Amino acid sequence: MMIHTILDTDLYKFTTSYAYIKLFPNAMGTFSFKDRDETAYTDKFLKSLREVVVSLAQVALTTEELEYMASHCRFLPRVYWEWLSSFRFQPDKVKIYLDEDCHLNIEVTDYLYKATLYEVPLLAIVSEIKNQTLGNIADMDDIICKLSEKVTLSNEHQLSFSEFGTRRRFSFDVQDKVIGYLKQTSQYCTGTSNCHFAMKYGMKPMGTHPHEWFMFHGAQFGYKHANYMALENWVNVYDGDLGIALSDTYTSKVFLNNLSRKQAKLFDGVRCDSGNEFEFADQLVARYRELGIDSTTKIIVFSNALDFGKALDIQEYCRGRIRCAFGIGTNLTNDTGYKPSNIVMKLTQCKMNINQVWRECVKLSDDEGKHIGSEAEVQACLYDLKIAIND
């Protein structure tokens, strides 16, 4: 099995799942897979993927895991972990096929508090099976050698980072060895987004909320109100905990224009997951200044396809103006000499209850070519937010 435990996923899948349970328990959604490289997959790959997905039905939260998560995540009530111990993945909810161009299609539809839990495990499985079917073999000596250089740079420059690499890892074993090495050698690795490895290595589980939370609010309440309502509802659930706000679901410019003084003061900082990091730092510092907030008390978490060299440049740029930290994923868990998969699963449709009509979900990235949604709905969103097509 490539997913050894239900905790072999990102923390924010659980925090988002609980938020749906608390505020939108009847909401339903569909998560859809996208390979941005438009890879042609094989029947052999498809067969292996289906077999592993069937095996997910055996994955369950253990008593030991329940006790660990209940004691280490004070922001999630014990009742959530007790519910999770009864949760089982349902392989029949996962539709998998290759289209006529051999592009991989995966869809999961369920109540959102359950559907959200499929995303990260499925992406990790796809990445690992792809490497297996291509005959790619990880050279651990080479991986650790490169990792050693990254850790040395981090230690020398006091560069704080978290490991965010589950969804596009080379394999479970590679991620395991990478995190084990970080635990032994890194002075400034603040934790990992993977709850299983956080438990195994005694590290802090890291994460807050994903794009889907904002996409759901945009589809249900309108794009103009999505950022504000998504943050307000997050506060309604977590009361100030998990205070890093994601900025780029409908472009960072729209987010910053809508950011209220209350939210800017209440949230510890903002995560930058697309676009130009240096420009975003300037814009966020300026927005805090407009709102009368000392930006040096706030933090930006950068997480967009980073390596350690770029992270160091960003840290130097932010020095003295705003604190910064880094979520580094693929560069840690899939720096193997092979091209990593560029894959995502995003919320593509949702409805507030079983009787409502489906509403399409949209994401407008700060990176060109990464908008998610049908062309018609993306255009409607751009129009609604008064964003020029080439902005």
Residues 96 and 216 placed together within one structural domain of the fold? no
pLDDT of residue 164: 97
Sequence-ordered alpha helix ranges (H) in the chain? 11-23, 43-55, 63-72, 78-86, 112-115, 119-134, 140-157, 172-185, 195-201, 211-221, 223-238, 252-258, 261-266, 277-290, 308-318, 330-333, 375-384
Residue 44 placed within a domain: yes
Closest CA to 223 of 255, 246, 260, 245: 255
Closest CA to 248 of 330, 303, 311: 303
Residue 59 placed within a domain: yes
Average pLDDT over residues 107-121: 98
Residues 228 and 325 placed together within one structural domain of the fold? yes
pLDDT band at 369 (very low <50, low <70, confident <90, very high): confident
Strand partners, 367: none
Residues 177 and 117 placed together within one structural domain of the fold? no
Contact 175, 197 (CB under 8 A): yes
Output b/e per residue, 164-193; b: 16+ Cβ within 10 A. Answer: bbbbbbbbbebbbbbbebbbeebebbebbb
Residue 165 placed within a domain: yes
pLDDT band at 273 (very low <50, low <70, confident <90, very high): very high
Residues 131 and 155 placed together within one structural domain of the fold? no
3-state secondary structure of 271: strand
Residues 120 and 149 placed together within one structural domain of the fold? no
pLDDT band at 391 (very low <50, low <70, confident <90, very high): very low
Residues 125 and 51 placed together within one structural domain of the fold? yes
**Domain range spanning residue 81?**
11-137+343-354
Residues 43 and 117 placed together within one structural domain of the fold? yes
Please state the domain count of the chain: 2
Average pLDDT over residues 273-288: 97
Residues 291 and 158 placed together within one structural domain of the fold? yes
Nearest-5° Cα angle at 340, 336 to 345: 145
Residues 174 and 102 placed together within one structural domain of the fold? no
Residues 79 and 217 placed together within one structural domain of the fold? no
